[in-house]
Amino acid sequence: MKMVLKDEAAQVAFGEVLGRALEWHGCVFLEGDLGAGKTTLSRGVLKAFGYTGAVKSPTYTLVEPYDFGAYQVHHFDLYRLADPEELEFIGARELLDGTALNLIEWPSRGEGWLPVADVIVTLSVIEEGRQAELEAFSKHGEATLIRLSRLWCNEEADS
């Protein structure tokens, strides 16, 4: 599944629809060059939970947890990760246990240690804004992309 997101507002709106389509759990790898919009998309996903605060990339802390009572979101940024084993030291095994929604920027830095992604979102800068390419890697991921397609079509029809 590919789509063009013309500006930051479209990225946030798309992230919000993705958050709803994920049904509040799963593992999403966010790939793309620096400045492609991985954190902006994460802000939209968090907005689906009702979060309205600032969302910064947890580049130095590696993970930023968000607790919504019945739901948790863990936003990882592995850009500065020197060795995937460092994830063990920050307690990532418990965070990645499957009950929360995990958004993981720069997942290649945790290769061999991270679980399989349900969905991989690859963001690219293009002339028209950003291109999001999504691919499913699990049953949950496949169901998510079906829900996302329906929800996004409804969202686009409403705007």
- Domain range list for the chain: 2-158
The burial of 130, by beta-carbon neighbours within 10 Å (0-12 exposed, 13-18 middle, 19 or more buried), is given as: buried
Q: What is the mean pLDDT of the chain?
A: 90
Is a pLDDT exceeding 60 seen at residue 158?
Answer: no
Q: Is residue 75 within 8 Å of residue 45, measured between CB atoms?
A: no
3-state SS assignment for residue 138: coil
Helices (H), ranges, 36-158: 38-48, 86-89, 92-95, 139-158
Is a pLDDT exceeding 90 seen at residue 10?
Answer: yes
Options 3.40.50.720, 3.30.200.20, 1.20.1080.10, 3.40.50.300; which CATH number does 2-158 get? 3.40.50.300
Tokens read off for 54 = 């600032």
Q: What does the pLDDT read at residue 125? A: 94
Average pLDDT for 104-108: 94
pTM for the complete prediction?
Answer: 0.91
